[in-house]
Structure 1
Amino acid sequence: MAEGPVVGTPYGAVRGRYENGLAVFRGIPYAAPPFGPRRFRPPVPPEPWDGVRDAGAFGPTPPKPPYSEAFAKLLSDPVVPGDDILNLNVWTPEPGPGARLPVMVWIHGGALTRGSSAVPVYDGRAFARDGLVFVSLNYRLGVEGYGLFPDAPANPGLRDQLAALEWVRDAIAEFGGDPDRVTVFGESAGAISIGALLASPRAKGLFRRAALQSGPPEVTERDKVRRLVRRMATRLKIPATAEAFAAVDRAALAEAQAEVGRRASPVLGGPAFGIVVDGDLVPRDPLEALLDGDAARDVDLLLGWTSEEYRLWLAPTGLLERIDRLGPVALAGAMARCRCGPEVPRGYRLVHPDASTADLVGQLVTDHLLRVPLHRLADAHPAPSYVYEFAWPSNVPGLGACHALELGFVFDTADVPESAKLAGPGAPQTLADEMHSAWVRFAVEGDPGWPVWDATHPVRVFGAGEPAIVHGPRDRELALWEAEFAASEAAADAADQGTRKAQKTPKPGAVPLSVVRRLRRPGGARRG
């Protein structure tokens, strides 16, 4: 340990390790432990320390329930005990203030309830090998990070991420990074978090580029989060307040959270924690702010998804077969989930005549929740946007090109056993080379290597064959949603005109037509 690299931070010096010619620092506190009187409160700086703090091992991970048996076979989620959960890690090829290298900051996914920076797939060595400073971080999860209480501020988990980015701004130069060339990237809940940070005035200037993988800017209805908190309170037999929850053992809290959220699914819906509009860090719906041009106008974007996102949730649990058996009933459920009329699934059947019912439902919900908002964002964003689709099918039977499969390729860690759990044996290294180098180019140059998004909708498809640029691969499906929106707005206009004729003054509490329209669009306030 005496020979490891030593770097100063705003709160004290840390000693890392040299690994394959790279300097690696793990478990550096960026905020104080969020327990005791700080539980459910915004993060505060850590206590400074004297001497040199060892940074050779991953720090404690946030409280979280384990994955179910079906998902634990596919997704790794290490647990490191301890209180200092608000920590981060740095991989750098050249520690010291003179290097000024581009910086990449990773925000992990896991539905805001699971995951951590200690997942082996997220090892930053390949980014540092290619001349960047890589940072990954932990943040509060589940009810600890996204519970909504009358006596505590909302979104403490997102506030943790903001604090980590502020640490990067203040400290990364000592690790060889350039605080003016920061790219944030994240997948699933990590991408959703970045969408909120993009639109937050408090995060302005903290990053120059952003990559959103399989997660759109969105917020969750406050009432939905409150209902989940109340269910936990009922199970624990305590009031639904931060004061009462703070008195509960963190393991018991995670267990109660797992019980009340057992049936949640991104595809099928159900109770779930999420980011909410709070009037402060998240002053309004992030997608609306970005579409209106109110935020992040000069931030370059990399946006994308996998071809069969839904298979991660439906295949391991046997839901694919059950949905196929339900047939029309399942399609009716998808219509209710997406709040659309029968014309949309009818159009999907015409576009995909050979698809099973489960695949039709999965693609319909994926487009509604993910692809439509990201398309709209790419269309409206003033700065350059680049769009990709990951289409390589997993060697694990049934998974296809599912959610999170691209991660081992982006990180160039397809060789680690934890990546093979999802990808199966024999993942192509050439695909990892292509995808990883694209993310590096985006961070360094702002251009991942394919045409910028324009009216022709160029999409870089990462698949099993040769590299391909496909123009508008999802345009036929997305046109169905545009037609649905137009029909909905026409009906709302007609209803509004009829109401105005029948009643010149609106009733107290009437919802304005503009709000009704927003609620019907993917990414509107009803999402989550």
Structure 2
Amino acid sequence: MMLASITALALCAPAAAQDPELPAATPVVKTDTGSVQGLEQGGIDAFLGVRYAAPPLGDLRFQPPEKPAAWEGVADATGYGAPCMQLYSASGPTESEMTRRIQAIFPTSTEAKMDNEDCLFLNVWTSAADDGGKRPVMVWFHGGGYAYGSGNWPAYNGRNLAEKGDVVVVTVNHRLNAFGYLNLAEKFGEEFAASGNVGNLDLVRSLEWVRDNIAAFGGDPENVTIMGESGGGSKVSHLMAMPAADGLFDKAVIQSGPGVTSGKPAEAADYADKILDTAGVETLQGLRNMRSDEIVEAVRKATRAGSAMGRGPQFGPIADGTIVPRDPFLPAAPEQSREIPVLIGYNKDEMTLFMAAQPWFGRLTEDTLTAMTGAMGEQAVAAVAAYRARYPDYSPTHLAAIAMGARFVRGTYLLADQQAKTASAPVYVYRLTWETPIGGGMLRTPHTLDIPLMFDNAAESAALVGTGEDAQTMADMMSDAWIAFARTGTPSSALLPEWKAYTPASRNVMELDVEPQLVDDPEKDIRELPSEL
């Protein structure tokens, strides 16, 4: 929202000085397209909903992002910008009491109530927007695959990280699902050559905004770390291989989301055709006339259940030979990122977060586990056997869940190996093994558990991490390490042993627990399973 002035906020400032419960206005910051002003969050300047690209509407739908038009006066940066249209399905996480609590920090269903095609906004947290400082910049790309999510989720709030590390934190919204990754090039020609990758080009545009403007917020444009979890980790992986992103960041963090390969243009074009056929759209004008909710509905009808778990067509960047020249880490790591230090890792029991929705969770017997893994193939059987030997106390349910997460393990080590083989910069690998106590410990170390810990948001994320002292110990440890990596390129903390780099010859992995330890190749048997798993 553009305001002629922000007088109301300015009038709040004297009152805030007397009543600490009332937020004070931030300084006015001038960007390359206009001025913005936000509100303080506990002494940290927060600028929310800052537009970094023009609204991708009308003729800009399915097109690369453009710089926003300049504005007069001061833009209101006191509230989040809209997330992209969401494809979150209620058939995902279970609607249990525990899940409803977790959704307070990952509010997927709430996002779907406020989504919009006009979604190219970012958020900035800084300890001092007007002091000319040169703080490390930590840019976060959200999870949710390429289907849903936003940088607005409470678990991603950058206030605590900005205060603790004296860093500048940025979170980003961008185009998702059909709006960011619908490959229309074959159907509608060269004008839509970029359509299958515009969601990732939005991320590039956000980094260009950081380069051009972050100094005005007290950040150092020469020291930018990009970070992401799950789908966000895949986004980081792809940015390492996109020529348009070359030179826009200095370090990369990939959490539970190694992006080793990309989608294939022909398959993406076929999926786009199915969506348009479902919608009854045959012409370009018909596509342009479609409402955004009609596009979402067409995607739902054209996509069979289970696709989100890798059993059908999915949205994501495609290796088109230009924007994404090839698979990011096959047959080798990207040459352009050889000087980029990488921090990469995964959580011990990734899939419990997803499997907890299944009616069999907590009820599997040895016989049903054998039948289930047998139907999945020899690799699944081998994974269960390996984990059974490592965790003899695991129930059949937890053996099934951890075995299903082997793809996170294998992808992490494959990417780390590929990068370490050719890079001049170091690679650091972690494995989060600390178990959350929520739900009686049923989730163990699930997908997303790392997020509130490295963001130092344990107290605010008790729904996921619990309320014990151990959660804050883990948050202290991990946020220290992430901040150190952003500052120097080496993750370190007084709470950690020396973190040595990972190489194919010496596979050092930091196991993150209340008593952390550096171990050698802790899941060698899983890492070496055939690629079909």
TM category (shorter chain) comes to: 0.7 to 0.9
Structure 2 residue corresponding to 1:101, chosen from 122, 129, 135: 135
Shift of residue 236, structure 1, vs aligned partner: 1.9
Deviations along 1:203-222, one digit per CA (max 9) or x if unpaired, are 11101101000111231233
Deviations along 1:450-473, one digit per CA (max 9) or x if unpaired, are 11213332211122x312222211
Structure 2 residue corresponding to 1:381, chosen from 408, 423, 430: 423
Letter in 2 for 1:169: R
Structure 1 contact 310–366 (Cα < 8 Å) conserved: no
Residue 210 (1) aligns with residue 260 (2): no
Residue 165 (1) aligns with residue 207 (2): yes
Matches within 5 A, 1:509-520: none
Match of 2:176 in 1: 141
Instruction: State the alpha-carbon separation in 1 of the partners of residues 436 and 92 from structure 2.
Output: 16
Shift in CA distance, 244/321, structure 1 to aligned 2, threshold 3 Å: farther
Shift of residue 321, structure 1, vs aligned partner: 6.0
Residue 287 (1) aligns with residue 309 (2): no
Matches within 5 A, 1:320-359: 320=361, 326-335=368-377, 356=396, 358-359=400-401
Deviations along 1:231-267, one digit per CA (max 9) or x if unpaired, are 323332223x765443221123223333444623565
CA RMSD in angstroms, aligned pairs only: 2.7
Deviations along 1:188-230, one digit per CA (max 9) or x if unpaired, are 1111011111111221110110100011123123344334333
Structure 2 residue corresponding to 1:120, chosen from 154, 168, 174: 154
Structure 1 contact 23–91 (Cα < 8 Å) conserved: yes
| SS at 2:54 equivalent | coil
Match of 1:34 in 2: 56
Residue 60 (1) aligns with residue 82 (2): yes
Instruction: State the alpha-carbon separation in 2 of the partners of residues 216 and 143 from structure 1.
Output: 22
Instruction: State the alpha-carbon separation in 1 of the partners of residues 144 and 475 from structure 2.
Output: 22
Structure 2 contact 348–402 (Cα < 8 Å) conserved: no
Match of 1:477 in 2: 526
Structure 2 residue corresponding to 1:402, chosen from 446, 450, 473: 446
| SS at 1:287 equivalent | coil
Structure 2 contact 156–455 (Cα < 8 Å) conserved: yes
Structure 2 contact 410–526 (Cα < 8 Å) conserved: no
Instruction: State the alpha-carbon separation in 1 of the partners of residues 78 and 506 from structure 2.
Output: 49
Structure 2 contact 33–68 (Cα < 8 Å) conserved: yes
Structure 2 residue corresponding to 1:441, chosen from 455, 459, 484: 484
Instruction: State the alpha-carbon separation in 1 of the partners of residues 149 and 301 from structure 2.
Output: 18
| SS at 2:211 equivalent | helix
Instruction: State the alpha-carbon separation in 2 of the partners of residues 37 and 323 from structure 1.
Output: 53
Shift in CA distance, 284/244, structure 1 to aligned 2, threshold 3 Å: farther
| SS at 1:155 equivalent | helix
Match of 2:268 in 1: 225
Instruction: State the alpha-carbon separation in 2 of the partners of residues 314 and 147 from structure 1.
Output: 29
Match of 1:44 in 2: 66
Instruction: State the alpha-carbon separation in 1 of the partners of residues 466 and 301 from structure 2.
Output: 30
Shift in CA distance, 11/319, structure 1 to aligned 2, threshold 3 Å: farther
Match of 1:317 in 2: 358
Letter in 2 for 1:442: F
Structure 1 contact 391–461 (Cα < 8 Å) conserved: yes
- Stretch moving more, 298-307 or 466-475: 466-475
Match of 2:44 in 1: 22
Structure 2 contact 342–426 (Cα < 8 Å) conserved: yes
Instruction: State the alpha-carbon separation in 1 of the partners of residues 72 and 171 from structure 2.
Output: 24
Matches within 5 A, 1:180-329: 180-217=222-259, 218-239=261-282, 244-261=286-303, 263-264=305-306, 267=309, 269-288=311-330, 291-292=332-333, 294-318=335-359, 320=361, 326-329=368-371
Shift in CA distance, 395/67, structure 1 to aligned 2, threshold 3 Å: farther
Instruction: State the alpha-carbon separation in 2 of the partners of residues 99 and 25 from structure 1.
Output: 17
Letter in 2 for 1:399: L
Shift in CA distance, 320/28, structure 1 to aligned 2, threshold 3 Å: same
Runs of 5+ in structure 1 lacking a partner?
A: 485-519, 523-528
Between Structure 1 and Structure 2, how many residues are aligned? 476
Instruction: State the alpha-carbon separation in 1 of the partners of residues 423 and 278 from structure 2.
Output: 44
- Stretch moving more, 469-478 or 432-441: 469-478
Structure 2 contact 387–403 (Cα < 8 Å) conserved: no
Shift of residue 365, structure 1, vs aligned partner: 3.6
Structure 1 contact 351–477 (Cα < 8 Å) conserved: no
| SS at 1:181 equivalent | strand
Matches within 5 A, 1:490-501: none
Residue 432 (1) aligns with residue 454 (2): no
Shift of residue 343, structure 1, vs aligned partner: 6.5
Instruction: State the alpha-carbon separation in 1 of the partners of residues 327 and 307 from structure 2.
Output: 22
Shift of residue 287, structure 1, vs aligned partner: 0.7
Shift of residue 96, structure 1, vs aligned partner: 3.0
Structure 2 contact 62–198 (Cα < 8 Å) conserved: yes
Letter in 2 for 1:165: L
- TM-score, with normalisation over the residues of structure 2? 0.82
Shift in CA distance, 382/475, structure 1 to aligned 2, threshold 3 Å: farther
Instruction: State the alpha-carbon separation in 1 of the partners of residues 237 and 162 from structure 2.
Output: 25
Structure 1 residue corresponding to 2:122, chosen from 88, 112, 121: 88
| SS at 1:272 equivalent | coil
Instruction: State the alpha-carbon separation in 1 of the partners of residues 432 and 426 from structure 2.
Output: 20
Deviations along 1:102-140, one digit per CA (max 9) or x if unpaired, are 111110010111110110111111222021011111000
Residue 76 (1) aligns with residue 107 (2): yes
Runs of 5+ in structure 2 lacking a partner?
A: 1-8, 14-24, 94-98, 493-498
Structure 1 residue corresponding to 2:434, chosen from 387, 392, 405: 392
Instruction: State the alpha-carbon separation in 2 of the partners of residues 263 and 216 from structure 1.
Output: 24
Instruction: State the alpha-carbon separation in 1 of the partners of residues 30 and 448 from structure 2.
Output: 35
Structure 2 contact 86–115 (Cα < 8 Å) conserved: no
- Stretch moving more, 314-323 or 302-311: 314-323
Shift of residue 281, structure 1, vs aligned partner: 1.7
